[in-house]
Amino acid sequence: MAQEKGWMMKKAGKILHYTKYKVFVIEADSKVIPNTYLIDDRGRKIGLVVDVIGPVSKPYLVVKPLIKDPEKYVGKEVYYTREKRK
């Protein structure tokens, strides 16, 4: 788990596809719920989780991109943040 500016970055998964419906499909590495923002390794918001699909044992995230040229992110790891507890 990486730490960024008081926030804990946890790996959400890897972007597998950018679909013709203009959403990312991400193979989830951890439990991420809808309405969670995903960030890249620099802490920039790149998308919003809109749905979780597939089997419980191996879920996929459907993510609405918030960036220009989303095709460039296919194959990259993405993260989400949790506020650091004191």
Domain-wise residue ranges, the chain: 2-83
Q: Is the dihedral of CA 6, 8, 13, 14 positive or negative?
A: positive
**CATH 2.60.40.10 correct for 2-83:** no
pLDDT of residue 85: 45
The answer to whether the CB of 28 falls within 8 A of the CB of 14 is no
Q: What is the SS3 assignment for 73?
A: helix
Closest CA to 62 of 54, 46, 50: 50
pLDDT digits (tens, 9 = 90+) for 7-63: 688 999 999 999 999 999 999 998 999 999 999 999 999 999 999 999 999 999 999
Task: Say what the pTM is.
Answer: 0.85
